[in-house]
Amino acid sequence: MANPLIRVNNLSKRYRIGAVQRGYKTFREAIVEGITAPVRNFGRLRRLTRFKNGEEPDTIWALKDVSFEVNEGEVLGIIGKNGAGKSTLLKILARITEPTSGSVEIYGRVSSLLEVGTGFHPELTGRENIFLNGAILGMSKKEIERKFDEIVAFSEIEKFIDTPVKRYSSGMYVRLAFAVAAHLEPEILLVDEVLAVGDAAFQKKCLGKMEEVAHGGRTVLFVSHNMAAVQTLCSRSVLLENGCLVAEGPSHAVVQQYRGSDGGNRSAYVWEDPKTAPGNELVRLAAVSILNSCGRTVSSIGTDEDFFIEVKYVVLRDGVRPGATAVLFNQEGTCIFSSLSNRDKDWHDKPHPIGLYRSTCLVPMSLLSDGEYRLTVLLWEGSYNLVCRSDETVRFHIRDAGEVRAGYYGGWQGVIRPALRWSTERVSSP
């Protein structure tokens, strides 16, 4: 029978939205405020800690009636859009803040990595902070000393271990903080979206360590926008939306639901007002579209179909030498490819007269695997001087045409599906 280490029961957290304060006061106002401050502050304290039964316009529910359990040795993913309540949930579990209502039961020693430098004293050195964090977790000095060399080696900051952490960069903070949290053997590890601060190599190293921690039987709660990492590390996930738990189950199914709630596909984006379009006084974006082979705007393309990425831009001054870059990402955020318009020899690096221009990029059939894709467009001028970057201008779907499956209906591995040439010949006989 499963043994829950965490029980979350009807958990709710409500915050009061503060009013904007005036920037300056007269001398008379300052004197009056000083005299009346005790009474006024007592009233403010009562308002901050007491809520009416009904909804109030100056309050917001960060979490509302959230309930779930996490079993021993389980890796649970917590996903959702920004502002969904993920970080608030982990802060309650880490006992940083208290819930408005509901309860949390935790059985075991908790280590958390919620923000860069959480739990570090800025005036202490890296070495001293390792011992401080270990003591907070209830570990003995001998236990910390046994793990010390391993922590320092993992963090890769041996040269700076005796430097006060207030002089660390954000990347160094994350390296040491994650090393401490992962190596000091807590029963429960809480990890928020902090690994994005580190470089790609260290992110990969951290994910590998988390996988090792999970296989070691410890319980992990992992908040991330990296859906590939969630599906790889987490057997089960929960989806939060506007503070409410809207889905719970196997990570693959919950991630699919999350992707489906992202507002659907948008096969074209047009900037109606040139003054507010991305760009500068030389060149501005006008529109980005996904077109089929007939030139129609489409949001769904078969794996057996060619399609075009179309970028329109306006040149505002004679002699400008603009260009465009299309960067395609899949639904996990993996970059599939980036392609520059410098392949167009007729116009590349040549002066453009004032006017509206259209650049198109042909994406051949049998290149992309089925799934959701998002397009980012960059506009540059001259010798690749970046003018603007417009993220996720369009979203579209590549559907499986089934032309190469030959009766196979399982999942197709890989982010691309090129039609590579194969040949077979008989080289011997019995």
Q: What is the pLDDT of residues 62-96, one digit of tens each?
A: 899 999 999 888 889 998 877 788 888 988 998 88
More confident residue, 134 or 350: 350
- The mean pLDDT of 247-263, rounded to a whole number, is 76
Residue 407 pLDDT greater than 50, yes or no: no
Residue 193 pLDDT greater than 70, yes or no: no
Residue 116 pLDDT greater than 60, yes or no: no
CA quadruple 400, 375, 223, 208: dihedral positive or negative? Answer: positive
How buried is residue 243: exposed, middle or buried, by Cβ count under 10 Å (0-12/13-18/19+)? buried
Tens digit of each residue's pLDDT (9 = 90 or more) over 325-379: 999 998 778 889 999 998 888 888 889 999 999 999 999 998 998 888 999 999 9
- The mean pLDDT of 107-133, rounded to a whole number, is 80
Q: Domain boundaries in the chain? A: 4-18+31-260, 268-399
Residue 245 is predicted with a pLDDT of 93
Strand 300-302 and strand 385-399: the pairing is parallel
How remote is the C-alpha of 34 from its chain's centroid? 45
CA atoms of 268 and 299, how far apart (whole Å): 8
Length of the chain counted residue by residue: 430
Domains 4-18+31-260 and 268-399 are alike in CATH topology: no
How buried is residue 4: exposed, middle or buried, by Cβ count under 10 Å (0-12/13-18/19+)? middle
3-state SS class at 325: strand
Residue 48 is predicted with a pLDDT of 52
Residue 287 is predicted with a pLDDT of 94
More confident residue, 120 or 152: 152
More confident residue, 315 or 300: 315
- The mean pLDDT of 290-308, rounded to a whole number, is 90
Model confidence band, residue 385 (pLDDT cutoffs 50, 70, 90): confident
Residue 56 pLDDT greater than 70, yes or no: no
Task: Write down the CATH number for the domain with range 268-399.
Answer: 2.70.50.60
End-to-end CA distance of the chain: 56
Residue 1 pLDDT greater than 80, yes or no: no
- The mean pLDDT of 208-227, rounded to a whole number, is 79
CA atoms of 202 and 199, how far apart (whole Å): 5
3-state SS class at 136: helix
**Least confident piece of the model among 255-269, 270-284, 373-387:** 255-269
Asked if residues 311 and 323 have their Cβ atoms less than 8 Å apart, the reply is no
- The mean pLDDT of 109-131, rounded to a whole number, is 79
- The mean pLDDT of 120-140, rounded to a whole number, is 84
Residue 183 pLDDT greater than 50, yes or no: yes
Q: Is 218 left (phi over 0), alpha (psi -120 to 50) or beta?
A: beta
Q: In what side-by-side order are the strands of the sheet with 335-340?
A: 300-302, 385-399, 371-381, 322-330, 335-340
Residue 49 pLDDT greater than 60, yes or no: no
Asked if residues 198 and 206 have their Cβ atoms less than 8 Å apart, the reply is yes
The number of beta carbons lying within 10 Å of the beta carbon of residue 359 is 18
Residue 417 is predicted with a pLDDT of 82
Residue 57 is predicted with a pLDDT of 59
Mean pLDDT of the chain: 81
CA atoms of 276 and 280, how far apart (whole Å): 10
Contacts 24+ apart (CB under 8 A), 386-393: 387/278, 387/279, 387/280, 387/282, 387/283, 387/322, 388/278, 388/279, 388/280, 388/284, 388/285, 389/278, 390/269, 390/278, 390/285, 390/288, 393/269, 393/288
CA atoms of 108 and 131, how far apart (whole Å): 20
Residue 42 pLDDT greater than 80, yes or no: no
Q: Which of 270, 287, 365 is nearest to 324 (CA)?
A: 287
pTM over 0.75, yes/no? no
* Residue 97 CB partners (closer than 8 Å, separation 6+): 13, 88, 91
C-alpha distance from residue 350 to each of 285, 314, 318, 324 (Å): 18, 15, 11, 14
CA atoms of 374 and 119, how far apart (whole Å): 37
Residue 409 is predicted with a pLDDT of 46
More confident residue, 215 or 246: 246
CA atoms of 293 and 85, how far apart (whole Å): 43
Residues linked to residue 398 through DSSP beta bridges, in sequence order: 301, 371
Model confidence band, residue 255 (pLDDT cutoffs 50, 70, 90): confident
Q: Identify the CATH assignment for 4-18+31-260 out of 3.30.420.40, 3.40.50.300, 3.30.870.10, 3.40.50.150.
A: 3.40.50.300
More confident residue, 29 or 22: 29
Give me the helices (H) in 11-137, please.
27-49, 86-93, 126-136
